[in-house]
Amino acid sequence: MPPGLKHSLPFYAFRPWVKLGSPILLFEHLLKTYGNIAHYKFMGTPIVFINDPDYIREILINQASSFVKERTVRRMKILLGEGLITSDDPIHKRQRRIAAPAFHRQRIAAYGDRIVACAASQRETWRPGQHIDIAAASMSLSLEIVARTLFDTAVTDDIRSINDEVNTIMGLYNFIVAFPKIESFLHLPIPGLMKFRRSKARLDAIVDRLIREHRETGIDKGDLLSMLLASTYEPTEADEPPPATQGSPTTQGSPATQRSPDTQGLSGTQGLSATRGLSVGLQPHESTSATKGALAPGLSSSRPPKLEGMSDEQIRDEVLTIFLAGYETVANGLTWTWYLLSQNPHVEAKLHAELDAVLGKRLPTLADYPSLRYTEQIFAESMRLYPPAWAMGRMSTQPVELGPYRIPPGAHFFFSQYIMGRDPQYFPDPLRFDPDRFTPEAKSARPKFAYFPFGGGNRQCIGESFAWMEGVFGIATIAQRWRMSYLGATTPEVQAKITLRPKDPLMMQLTPR
């Protein structure tokens, strides 16, 4: 095992770096004391904390078939079922292929207009001199965008109820995660579980009804749900459950999902045309159509392809997954960006210059995306300092080799976008907000997994392109019209919950531009 804490974590309960609900302190301590790979134990489970881009690549790509999601994520199956975040192969592989077209470039393009429309309508509600909590405002913008792009609706009572029930359940997250074998006890009259059951039943009823209504109209409304309902794929031999010996790591995922995380951004390599640029970050829709042309062994060309779609229950799992994964993450990304801009007037001035040159007074459209390079760099740099997904984890199902260490199955592995993003080895003078760290040259000078806000490998965020578009168009549309001055007296404190949020309201004063 790598170096690390001699005793189980509770033994250190009174050390300043052990604080319930603040694993960032523990991770910082491990990195400082033991270096880029360290271990500790909790309730008998070996846990390895990693802050090394090469080891992260091993876990997410090279040895990906030796891992599944770690325990706290797997526990969320009681909410998200076998959705994309919680499922394992072969279910995950199948779901990912069916869901991919919903995130395909033409669809993303259509979502772009809706994102801009939502941001434009929010900016019209604000008044000069007004004080707003930008965290709350970004959440409400993101909810509006989820409603429009996932369900093709405004924020109705249904959407508010989905939001409320998801919040209730996420409020129970620590309880759910700590409850051993929770799946077997769900029916018991334990207060936390009863609350969970009631919320989950209400959630299911609303989402089921929205799915039914969408199915009944049979119209593609241009939203994600219509696309999930229409998506089918033709199973290939590769979709069969792997043999007992497990497939080789190289068969995991597709080349499209294994691209480098540090070439992120919708425009990826700067200067690409809008259409080519948008293909960066898109998922293996192309490979789906490619496999359609190929005949599985044993099939004659006269036999019609067997197309599979998702059941309503699977769609419900995916809808909840996308809601959870795509709403708070982007909202927090925007919140921290506004804070950082308010503290860095020279960056803000460059942003305004780009917006004036590219857009003038008109709203952004998809064709503008590749020209909004500095805006994209700002969002990238903001997610370095304040990554909405601040840590990720896996559990090994087979022995894993990381450098000189051989780690047994059943170990948990964590790595943190927050810790890596502040490591001076990869980001000199790390607390300085400098979007020029994300020029193509600067990115290519860094190891690939020194920056991984969207993860990597076959579980890489399927909504990455969507998130870039929401971030960039959200910043552009609002900054065209408003400047924000931070009203707090101190640096806002972070709260590392499921996403990285500000602990308190983040008050801003609005000045028109």
Question: Closest approach of Cβ 42 to ligand HEM, in Å?
Answer: 19
Nearest residue to 40 via CA among 53, 57, 25: 25
Q: Which stretch binds ligand HEM (CB under 6 A): 346-354, 366-374, 425-433, 454-462?
A: 454-462
Whichever of 193 and 392 has its CB closer to ligand HEM, that residue is 392
Residue in 454, 473, 482, 486 binding ligand HEM, rule: CB under 6 A: 454
Instruction: Compute the Cα dihedral for 253, 46, 392, 420 and give only its sign.
Output: negative
Which residues sit opposite 396 in a β-bridge?
A: 67
Only segment of 46-54, 327-335, 397-405, 427-435 that touches ligand HEM (CB under 6 A): 327-335
Q: Judge whether 152 and 223 are in contact, CB under 8 Å.
A: yes
Q: Does 101 bind ligand HEM (CB under 6 A)?
A: no
List CB contacts of 115: < 8 A, sequence separation 6 or more: 145, 149, 469, 470, 473, 474
Q: Does 38 engage in binding with ligand HEM (CB under 6 A)?
A: no
> Residue 428 carries which side chain, given as an amino acid letter?
P
Q: Does 322 bind ligand HEM (CB under 6 A)?
A: yes
Q: Which is nearer to ligand HEM, 48 or 461 (CB)?
A: 461
R_g of the chain computed on alpha carbons: 23
Rule CB under 6 A: choose which of 66, 264, 321, 371 binds ligand HEM.
321
Which of 455, 474, 492, 502 is close enough to bind ligand HEM by CB under 6 A? 455
Tokens 């640096």: give the residue: 491
- Tell the smallest beta-carbon distance from residue 339 to ligand HEM (Å): 15
Secondary structure tally for the chain: helices H, strands E = 20, 13
Q: Name residues whose C-beta falls within 8 Å of residue 339's C-beta, 6 or more positions apart in sequence.
A: 134, 486, 492, 502, 506
Nearest of 121, 127, 168, 158 to residue 140 by alpha carbon: 121
Residue 95: both structure tokens together = 């779901």
CB of 195 to ligand HEM, least distance (A): 26
User: Is residue 415 within a helix (H) or strand (E), and if so which, with residue range?
Assistant: strand 412-415
Question: Which of 176, 193 has the CB closer to ligand HEM?
Answer: 176
Q: Which stretch binds ligand HEM (CB under 6 A): 236-244, 363-371, 461-469, 483-491?
A: 461-469
Nearer to ligand HEM, 230 or 353 (CB): 230
- Minimum distance of ligand HEM from residue 392's CB (angstroms): 4
Which residue from 166, 325, 411, 420 is in contact with ligand HEM, where contact means CB under 6 A? 325
Q: Which of residues 135-194 bind ligand HEM (CB under 6 A)?
A: none
Nearest distance from C-beta of residue 400 to ligand HEM, angstroms: 16
467 binds ligand HEM (CB under 6 A): yes
The residue number whose beta carbon is nearest to ligand HEM equals 463
Sheet holding 131-133, edge to edge: 131-133, 507-512, 482-486
| Residue 509 Cβ vs ligand HEM, minimum distance, rounded to whole Å | 26
Long-range contacts, 372-375 (Cβ 8 Å, 24+): 372/472, 372/476, 373/267, 373/270, 374/350, 374/435, 375/351, 375/472, 375/475, 375/476, 375/479
Nearest distance from C-beta of residue 85 to ligand HEM, angstroms: 4
Name which position in 453, 474, 492, 502 contacts ligand HEM (CB under 6 A): 453
| Residue 100 contacts ligand HEM per CB under 6 A | no
Q: Is the torsion defined by CA of 273, 278, 279, 281 positive or negative?
A: positive
- The smaller minimum CB distance to ligand HEM, of residues 359 and 467, is found at 467
**Alpha carbon distance 231, 284 (integer Å):** 13
Contact between 462 and ligand HEM by CB under 6 A: the answer reads yes
Q: How far apart are CA 301 and CA 294, in angstroms?
A: 10
Instruction: Using alpha carbons, select from 130, 52, 84, 135 the residue that is nearest to residue 494.
Output: 135
* Residue 296 one-letter amino acid: A
Options 31, 38, 78, 84; binder of ligand HEM; rule CB under 6 A: 84
The distance of closest approach from Cβ of residue 253 to ligand HEM in the complex, given in angstroms and rounded to an integer, is 9
Minimum CB–partner distance for residue 147 and ligand HEM (Å) = 12
Burial 11-37 (b: 16+ CB within 10 A, else e): ebeeeebbeeeebbebbbbbbeebebb
Name which position in 23, 81, 253, 326 contacts ligand HEM (CB under 6 A).
Answer: 326
Find the helix or strand (DSSP H, E) in which 19 lies: none
466 lies in the binding site for ligand HEM (CB under 6 A): yes
501/495 Cα distance (integer angstroms):
5
State yes or no: residue 388 binds ligand HEM (CB under 6 A): yes
Among 463, 474, 492, 502, binds ligand HEM (CB under 6 A): 463
Residue closer to ligand HEM by CB (options 5, 380) is 380
How many Cα atoms occupy the beta-carbon half-sphere of 34 within 13 Å? 20
CB closer to ligand HEM out of 193 and 227: 227
# of chain residues touching ligand HEM (CB under 6 A): 22
Query: Where along the sequence are the contacts to ligand HEM (CB under 6 A)?
Result: 84-85, 96, 321-322, 325-326, 329-330, 333, 388-389, 392, 453-455, 459, 461-463, 466-467
